[in-house]
Amino acid sequence: MNPFIKKIYFVDDDPIFVFISKKLMKEEKFTESIAEFEHGKQAIEALIECDQQNELLPTVIFLDLSMPVMSGWEFLDSFQAAPIENKEQIKIIVMSSSINPLEIDMIKNYPVVHDYIVKPITPADLNKIKVCLVNESQA
């Protein structure tokens, strides 16, 4: 089976979590390509460059909230303000080890956020994302 998703961005500063998540995505045939970023600044710069070069944008961005240099919150603000064509087609999945209700409420202020996952990512999380994307593509 070919992966349904061509390209994702994985934005997290925890190398062990990134390694385990990538391994799971490979086992689940979730994506063809994973670009890793240690913080939001790297990811937003890559998105803008991708857009300027007319390259394929990621279908999904997995975004940690707590990172150095540029946090996930700052990334979300930058993403919303960035002049990226068709960015509304990108699904941002926020990942956090926290189940803080305040954090979850704050996320609701960002319409670009598609879903919220409590770490670690599970096969069920990946399947839920796939199902959502399939349903949207058929709508």
pLDDT of 132 reads 86
Is pLDDT at 120 greater than 50 in this prediction? Answer: yes
Of 3, 1, 84, give the one whose Cα is nearest residue 43.
84
Q: What are the structural domain ranges in the chain?
A: 5-138
CB 64 within 8 A of CB 14: yes
Structure tokens, 40? 């939001």
Chain segment 60-78, per-residue pLDDT in tens: 999 999 999 999 999 999 9
DSSP structural state of residue 37: E
Q: What is the Cα–Cα distance from 16 to 41, expressed in whole angstroms? A: 20
User: What is the CATH topology of the domain spanning 5-138?
Assistant: Rossmann fold (3.40.50)
Cis preceding linkage at 120, omega within 30: yes
